[in-house]
């Protein structure tokens, strides 16, 4: 099993979560659509050659974003990451995947 963490701008939160759940993320035992989320501030500077969803090149941006965490079964991880990249509005979404061990 894996834990997926992704950072999502407020206006895309429900869209991204729905896509991840539809791809099989967020299932724990007899529960589905499970996640944890907290709001914070992300920052980035689009560089030359970028096509930013928010902001302009060479200008530091600070954006209200949600950190969303959910579990993903090993069999679903490729499909979930594909769904993330399709649903997320950012040119390069920030996310990480960590293996979770169950003892």
Q: Per the structure block, which two tokens stand in for 10?
A: 């407020």
What's the whole-model pTM score?
A: 0.91
Residue 62: is it exposed, middle or buried by C-beta count within 10 angstroms (0-12/13-18/19+)? exposed
Q: What is the pLDDT of residue 22?
A: 98
Question: Domain range spanning residue 70?
Answer: 2-99
| 5: pLDDT strictly greater than 90 | yes
Taking only the tens place, the pLDDT of each residue in 53-89 is 888 999 999 999 999 999 999 999 999 999 999 999 9
CATH code at 74?
Answer: 3.30.70.120
Mean pLDDT score of the chain: 96
> Domains in the chain: how many in total?
1
């Amino acid at each position: 099993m894996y834990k997926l963490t992704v950072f999502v701008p407020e206006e895309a939160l429900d869209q991204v979560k729905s896509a991840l759940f539809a791809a099989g993320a967020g299932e724990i035992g007899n529960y589905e659509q499970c996640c944890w989320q907290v709001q914070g501030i992300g920052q980035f500077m689009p560089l030359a050659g970028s096509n930013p969803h928010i902001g302009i090149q060479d200008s530091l941006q600070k954006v209200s974003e949600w950190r969303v965490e959910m579990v993903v079964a090993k069999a679903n991880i490729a499909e979930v990451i594909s769904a993330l990249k399709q649903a997320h509005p950012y040119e390069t979404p920030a996310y990480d995947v960590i293996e979770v061990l169950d003892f």
